[in-house]
Amino acid sequence: MPAQPDPLPEDNSMASTPGALSPAHRDDTVIAVHRVGKMYRLYDRPQDRLKHQLLRRFGNVYGQEFWALKDVSFEVKRGEIVGIIGCNGSGKSTLLQLLAGVLRPTAGTIQVQGRVAALLELGSGFNPEYTGRENVFMNGAILGVSRAEMENRFEQIAAFAEIGDFIDQPVKVYSSGMFLRLAFAVSVHVDADILLIDEALAVGDVFFRQKCYQHLDALHERGVTIVLVTHGMLEVEERCQHALLLHHGTVAFQGVAAETVRQYYLLEQEQRLSEPLHTGSEHMAAPAIPEGTDAGLPLWPAPEAFMDITSIRQISNGWARCTGIAVCNAHGQPCVVFQQGETASFFYEFELLRDIEVPIGGLSIHNDKGMQIHGKNTLQYDVDMPAQVQRGTRLRFRQDIDLEIAIGEYTFTVGLATLSQHDFASRSHYADTDLGSKIVYLCQLPASGQFEVVLRRHGKPIQLLHYGAANLPSQCHATVVTSPEGGA
């Protein structure tokens, strides 16, 4: 029979539930987690649980300890959006439940300042026998909102949820989408200082998700702190300022969201790196690129055109390092300000610290809100790459990109990865997610540089090329149809 967890902690003498922050944290810190652990006891048989509870005072211990979280520490500032990421079973949902006060920590302290609203796993906090209306008022009471306040906000909540007459039906008859709509509507309309969200938005349809994200943006502008547990890495990069990476219940990394996401990818591929990567012969077929040659790249910039990257953090598995980055205009001159529609040339170079198979170079562009506007690598360009490359080789890449994007400031990220010869040869037969799981990330530089796009000085037919984030290749036709005589 499989082991059964005991939801009760072994010892709560060191634990504390969420409460007011200590004076040392009363500046702009709203969540302070210090060396928190959560332990469950696993039993081989149901009767062992009872034996443990009755006999542990006499020193008889049954079951085994399982620490879902151990020695977790971090702080969240007021108004931040913080992501919590990690593989399944890493402790993300457990941590969010501790922050919400649903669980008590076995060890350590959690201090929270302000009203907390939590959108945890679907269905939590709702009584399935109650109607949607009754659950709205019940959740308001749990969050400390008076009946009168909830009555004033009820029409807003019902309008946001858009479930019509089902508001007066028991929630046990709701679809998962209806359940989410109502739960989210309640959570964001109770004037919470801190909003906790656990993967909930993955359930809704695209229109409701857009509506939710717009509302989250509005809450963020009002200074609400948001803690988001998700498997959507793009969502973390675009919406979070900082992120926490959990691995087997411990903090593997915490920092800027983009860096944390790269660390997640490196962590996820560790299992693949423990297996032999090479499938070809032991002798490398591709020689190192000789110094001073173009290596097929026209107009490689002069040394003085390259950026100083010594202070830029490189996220690497130790197989490669970036040795140069330059951004130039169409004349090959270093440039950081481009008119809309101009072509920017991005040059980047990596030195291999280990023999690899097929190399992959790529670049992505993010706007000032963290949204990825463009991302493309040598696989998508279908660039002919060597089957094997030796340690010590320097790989050079150039990407010319027409900046038909919105006026504004941008950052870009460069990276190097590799793929086995077999998978590269079969790349057209893989689904995108399957091919992505076989790529080994070697080195990335999040936000490795920046540039600005401004209005064109002169434009035909007009100055502004397009509206929106990017200009899609398109055509437009117009026809004037004259109504026949006597027509309506």
> Tens of pLDDT along 268-310?
887 666 654 444 434 344 444 444 444 455 579 999 999 999 9
Give the pLDDT band of residue 407 (cuts 50, 70, 90). Answer: very high
pLDDT at position 334 is 95
Task: Write out pLDDT tens, residues 148-157.
Answer: 989 999 999 9
Q: Which domains does the chain have, with CATH numbers?
A: 4-261 (3.40.50.300), 280-289+301-454 (2.70.50.60)
Q: Which residue has the higher pLDDT, 208 or 313?
A: 313
**Burial of 342 (C-beta count, 10 Å sphere; 0-12/13-18/19+):** middle
Return the number of other C-beta atoms located less than 10 Å from residue 213's C-beta.
14
End-to-end CA distance of the chain: 79
Q: Which residue has the tokens 């690129």?
A: 289
* Cα 8 → chain centroid: 32
pLDDT for 51 beyond 80? no
- Given a contact cutoff of 8 angstroms between Cβ atoms, the answer to whether 230 and 260 are in contact is no
The pLDDT of residue 263: 92
Average pLDDT over residues 257-276: 80
- H runs (alpha helix) in 222-275: 233-239, 257-268, 270-273
Question: Does 190 have pLDDT greater than 90?
Answer: no
Q: Is residue 310 helix, strand or coil?
A: coil
- Which residue, chain included where needed, has tokens 């300890």? 65
Q: What is the pLDDT of residue 291?
A: 42
pLDDT tens digits for range 327-376: 999 988 999 999 999 999 999 999 999 999 999 999 999 998 888 999 99
The residue among 305 and 210 whose pLDDT is bigger is 305
At 203 the pLDDT is 58
Q: How far apart are CA 41 and CA 63, in angstroms?
A: 6
The CA distance from 80 to 326, in Å, is: 32
Q: What is the mean pLDDT of residues 64-72?
A: 91
Average pLDDT over residues 411-438: 93
CA 252 – CA 246 distance, rounded (Å): 6
At 482, is the pLDDT very low, low, confident or very high (cuts 50, 70, 90)? confident
Q: pLDDT-based confidence at 9, cuts 50/70/90?
A: very low
Report how far residue 80's alpha carbon sits from residue 239's, in angstroms, rounded to the nearest whole number: 10
Residues of the chain by 3-state class (helix, strand, coil), percent to 5? 25, 30, 40
